[in-house]
């Protein structure tokens, strides 16, 4: 058995492996907090329902809808996630800070400060960056960016909108 051989070879390595596995099991059992390199490989494990609506972001570059099916998926994920995450980043980061605060403030780290764990960014700065990313990915300089969100539900033939498109952001000639 490998574990026995490992114990004979190096007790430090043996106990390090046992500790890693125990910590992995504990953090996975607790279901929430992680400690890189220990992660929870639970993606797509929670039940997904037929009636789940999808919020889709539509990006218009110079009044033309960017066809996301033509954008390599890693780039598409960066663009779409950055919109979704930018919207929630302030609230989300504060929430993470507050959850960890009882633990970190006990140790009294001098840099454990909400400002270090929050973004210092305005809508203008985000949109300037976003327009630059879209320009790079599309291969031409985009002058105007508009971002809309809309909810969709799967019907027999495909996705059908279940809400009207809402304007999220607009950036012109920045």
Partner 1 sequence: MQLTDKHIKQFLGSYLAWFIIYYVWIFCTGLLFSQVQPVFFLNRLDLTGNILMLGNLQHLLIKSQSLRIIFDLLYLLLPCLLVFFNLKKSKAVPYIAIATAVFSFVYNYFYTLMIFVSPEVFVVWMFMPFIFSTCSIKGIYFRLHTVRIIFLVFFLSSALWKIRAGGIFNTDQMSGVLKSQHAPHLVNNISDWYAAMISWFISHPAISYTLYLFAFLAEFSFIVGFFTTRFDKYLLILFCMFIIGDYFFMEINYCSWFAFAGCLYFSRFNLIESKNIP
Nearer to partner 1 (CB atom), residue 24 or residue 144: 24
Helix (H) or strand (E) holding 153: strand 144-154
Q: How far is the CB of 48 from partner 1 (least distance, A)?
A: 3
β-strands 144-154, 159-161: how paired? antiparallel
Q: How far is the CB of 137 from partner 1 (least distance, A)?
A: 7
Q: How many residues does the chain have?
A: 174
Residue with tokens 């992660």: 39
Nearer to partner 1 (CB atom), residue 37 or residue 106: 37
Q: Which two tokens stand for residue 143?
A: 């002058």
Nearer to partner 1 (CB atom), residue 157 or residue 173: 157
**Residue 42 near residue 27 (C-beta atoms within 8 A):** no
Distance, C-alpha 9 to centroid of its chain: 42
Nearer to partner 1 (CB atom), residue 69 or residue 173: 69
Q: How far is the CB of 173 from partner 1 (least distance, A)?
A: 19
Q: How far is the CB of 143 from partner 1 (least distance, A)?
A: 20
């Amino acid at each position: 058995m490998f574990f026995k051989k490992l114990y004979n070879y190096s007790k430090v390595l043996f106990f390090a492996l046992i500790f890693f596995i125990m910590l992995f099991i504990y953090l996975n059992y607790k279901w929430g907090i992680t400690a890189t390199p220990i992660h929870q490989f639970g993606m797509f494990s929670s039940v997904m329902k037929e009636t789940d609506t999808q919020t889709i972001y539509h990006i218009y570059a110079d009044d033309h809808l960017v066809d996301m099916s033509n954008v390599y998926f890693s780039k598409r994920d960066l663009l779409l996630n950055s919109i979704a995450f930018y919207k929630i980043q302030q609230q989300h980061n504060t929430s993470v800070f507050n959850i960890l605060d009882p633990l970190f403030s006990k140790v009294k780290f001098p840099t454990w400060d909400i400002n270090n764990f929050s973004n210092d960014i305005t809508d203008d700065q985000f949109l300037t960056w976003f327009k630059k990313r879209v320009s790079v990915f599309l291969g031409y300089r985009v002058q105007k960016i508009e971002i809309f969100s809309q909810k969709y539900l799967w019907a027999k033939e495909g996705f059908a909108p279940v809400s009207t498109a809402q304007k999220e952001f607009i950036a012109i000639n920045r």
